[in-house]
Amino acid sequence: MTDRLAAQFAFLAEADKLKSVLRATTLYDGSRLENSGEHSWHVMLYALTMAEHSTRPVNIDRVLKMLLLHDLVEIDAGDNPIHGDHDPAEQEASEQAAATRIFGLLPSDQAAEFRAIWDEFEAAASDDAIFAKSIDRVQPVTANLENDGGTWPEYNVTVEKIEARVGAKVKRGAPALWDHLKGRIDAWFAAQ
């Protein structure tokens, strides 16, 4: 039991590093960049609140687990903003290696369970993962809208980029949320 507890505490200590990973999205008030730990909490709250808008019924407990674990890989791989300029293949390889290392800190049964949940989220094939991916895209868009475009100008974001990189994923799992956001996005860009 001591070895199991030591492994679990080691994993939790490592997970604390997620609070030091800064994202490209600011807080709603624009006062500073959000960290990945804050994002994970907020996106889980989004999912819990918005689950009724999923295209298909979801197991909210599984969705919340996915969202809790999905960005732990950023401890090693860093945050790669959706509108940033990075190599997707390199990013995927870095995240896969990070998942192996970070989840590998846990006892083998938990390592396998957590990795399987993370892999399911990344594959975005199950109803739970499709909805989780949708919600993961909704939260940063909302933050930018609440903060007068937030970091969109810095990344030269256009309506077309948002539609391609965000809209398709949100529409797949929660089209009502996309319809709502699209109106706000169009209004923001029209006012610029």
Burial of residue 80 (CB within 10 Å: 0-12, 13-18, 19+) is: middle
Residue among 161, 19, 31 at smallest CA distance from 83: 161
pLDDT-derived band at 80 (thresholds 50, 70, 90) equals confident
Cα–Cα dist 109/123, whole Å: 21
Domain positions in the chain are: 2-190
Kindly report the backbone phi and psi dihedral angles of residue 148, in degrees, each rounded to the nearest multiple of 5, phi listed first. 50, 50
Q: Which two tokens stand for residue 149?
A: 């475009």
Mean pLDDT of 159-184: 95
pLDDT-derived band at 85 (thresholds 50, 70, 90) equals confident
pLDDT at 82 over 80: no
Fold assignment, 2-190? Hypothetical protein af1432 (1.10.3210)
Looking at residue 60, what is its pLDDT? 98
Whether 128 contacts 120, CB under 8 Å: yes
